[in-house]
Amino acid sequence: MEDSKLSENEILINSNCNPTDSLLLWTNKSQITWDYFKGKPDTIKFKGFGAVTWTWITYEDYTVHNDSITMNLLSYLVINHSWVRIKTDDLLTHEQTHFNITEVFTRKIRKELSQYQYVSVQNFLDYYAFVSNKSHAEKDELNNLYDKETNHGTIIEVQQKWDKKIDEMLEELEDYSNPRVVVRKKDR
């Protein structure tokens, strides 16, 4: 069977994003600056927030082969939706850790997918949707706990503990830092 290419971005974790939004790809060297926060502040929904970081996990280059499916699974900062009202170095560090949390969950998805064996393409798509939705919910839960415990980055000592914790999680998942994921077809 010849390789077939499916359309990019068929399944997205955060449906509030649009593929045409300005995006910053997460890499080991990705250090955000306030220049990446170009969205309009939503002071009604996010009352009292100094900044909001919108992130997105999606795949690109999805290809079905005879015995595998390959894709690149990527983490992005959504520039047009991220916004800031109060620019401080401490708050920027806090927002960077939100971006890093997104990469942690991207790596977790890569890990789960690389260990999965699919029966059919539809079976894989269903599993991908399940894993993505589960990971998105877990990411939201961790981000909420992070905001609560650090009081949105204002408790510096707790913020530093969280920075270390997330860095350690990234290190633990280093084997899944490569965006390329290969999912094997189950032998019959």
Question: Confidence class of residue 32 from pLDDT cuts 50, 70 and 90?
Answer: very high
Give burial (CB, 10 Å; 0-12/13-18/19+) of 151: exposed
Coil/strand/helix, residue 65: coil
State if pTM tops 0.85. Answer: yes
Lowest average pLDDT, out of 9-18, 79-88, 126-135, 153-162, goes to 9-18
Look at 1 and 170; give whichever has higher pLDDT.
Answer: 170
Coil/strand/helix, residue 86: coil
Domain, as residue range, for 161: 4-185
User: What DSSP element (H or E) covers 180?
Assistant: strand 180-185
pLDDT at 61: 84
Question: Confidence class of residue 187 from pLDDT cuts 50, 70 and 90?
Answer: confident
pLDDT at 48: 87
Alpha-carbon span 97 to 165, nearest angstrom: 10
**Maximum distance among all alpha carbons in the chain?**
58
Question: Over the stretch 149-186, which tens digit does the pLDDT of each residue have?
Answer: 999 999 999 999 999 999 999 999 999 999 999 999 99
State the amino acid at position 179 in one-letter form. P
Smallest CA-to-CA distance from 100 within 53, 52, 154, 51 is with 53
Number of domains forming the structure of the chain? 1
Give burial (CB, 10 Å; 0-12/13-18/19+) of 170: middle
